[in-house]
Amino acid sequence: MSALLQVSGLHAGYGDSEVLQGLDFDVGAGEVVCLLGANGVGKTTTMGVLSGLVPASEGRVRYDGADLLALPSHERVKAGLALSPEGRKVFPNLTVEENLYLGSFNRNARAHRARKLDEVYALFPRLAERRTQSAGLMSGGEQQMLALGRALMSNPRMLLLDEPSLGLAPLVVQAVFGAIRTIAATNISILLVEQNTHAALSVAGRGYVMAAGRIVYSGDAAALRQSPELRDAFIGGKSARDKSARKGEALDA
């Protein structure tokens, strides 16, 4: 199987602190894969590296056969890789519709704008109702829908979703993950980063468990649910981090 996204031996961090210490994983075309782990293990940093917000210090990322790290951020979006960031980051003073239009800023997506807008409004009728409202005035759940919709507007082949459940009420989480399932059914690949393991495994076919900047376990959703590693990643996160804190000792893919 040739993966759409293949990450190998990835190192990255901020200043002196290295957050990712030899990360390996892959996501196949049309697959939904989740990246699980406690706070601070490097999940959001991973998303940052994939979207170009955080530079990688070492390692390779291949996307659709090409070297992803060589592309500047805006080229990555053009190549069909879209991130819905942690904390949603909608444009608060712009209207809902303007936010969505911005999602299809890149030239490749602009051609599909009308069609994509219909799709997003069909997926999230709430957004259609509020299209002229300022995004900053909406509830957290609605903003999450907007962030997802905005990412979809770029006509992506692969969506990167960073903590879509963050700060949302359980019912809203259900609605958001329902939408993610619908998106997955349209053959868009999804890499999902979550702390809400239960929600993540309800949509993902398989997943990885991260601790201290590396993958410590991988398997399909059913295996993950049973795995002690997953429990350890959250409960024993601290000790796992110390154990593998030594540098330059990448796991084999």
Choose which of 90, 117, 146, 216 interacts with another protein (CB under 8 A). Answer: 90
**Span of 38-46, 100-108, 163-171, 195-203 interacting with another protein by CB under 8 A:** 100-108
Choose which of 105, 128, 166, 202 interacts with another protein (CB under 8 A). Answer: 105
Q: Does 234 bind another protein (CB under 8 A)?
A: no
CB of 94 to another protein, least distance (A): 6
Q: What secondary structure does DSSP assign to 55-97, as a single string? A: -EEEEEEEETTEEGGGS-HHHHHHTTEEEE-TT----TTSBHH
Choose which of 109, 146, 148, 168 interacts with another protein (CB under 8 A). Answer: 109
Total residues found in the chain within this entry: 253
Q: Which residues contact 231 (CB under 8 A, 6 or more apart)?
A: none
Q: What secondary structure does DSSP assign to 136-152, as a single string? A: GGS-HHHHHHHHHHHHH
Q: Judged by CB under 8 A, how many residues of this single chain contact another protein?
A: 29
Choose which of 73, 182, 186, 187 interacts with another protein (CB under 8 A). Answer: 73
Q: Does 55 bind another protein (CB under 8 A)?
A: no
Query: Is beta strand 214-220 parallel, antiparallel or unpaired with respect to 81-84?
Result: unpaired
* CB contact at 8 A, 206 and 190: no
Q: Does 42 bind another protein (CB under 8 A)?
A: no
- For residue 175, what are its two tokens? 């609605």
Q: Does 74 bind another protein (CB under 8 A)?
A: yes
Tell me, what DSSP letter sits at residue 250? P
CB of 83 to another protein, least distance (A): 5
Binding mask 124-163 for another protein (x = CB under 8 A): --------------------------xx--x---------
CB of 248 to another protein, least distance (A): 23
Looking from the CA of 4 toward its CB, the CA atoms found within 13 Å total 21
- For residue 106, what are its two tokens? 């890149």
Q: Does 46 bind another protein (CB under 8 A)?
A: no
Choose which of 29, 58, 62, 94 interacts with another protein (CB under 8 A). Answer: 94
CB of 4 to another protein, least distance (A): 18
* CB contact at 8 A, 15 and 244: no
Backbone torsion region of residue 64, taken as left when φ is above 0, otherwise alpha when ψ lies between -120 and 50, otherwise beta: left
Q: Does 102 bind another protein (CB under 8 A)?
A: yes
Q: Which residues contact 236 (CB under 8 A, 6 or more apart)?
A: none
Instruction: Give the SS3 label for residue 39.
Output: coil
**Span of 71-79, 171-179, 183-191, 237-245 interacting with another protein by CB under 8 A:** 71-79
Which stretches of the chain bind another protein, using CB under 8 A? 51-53, 72-74, 76-78, 82-83, 85, 89-94, 98, 101-103, 105-106, 109-110, 150-151, 154
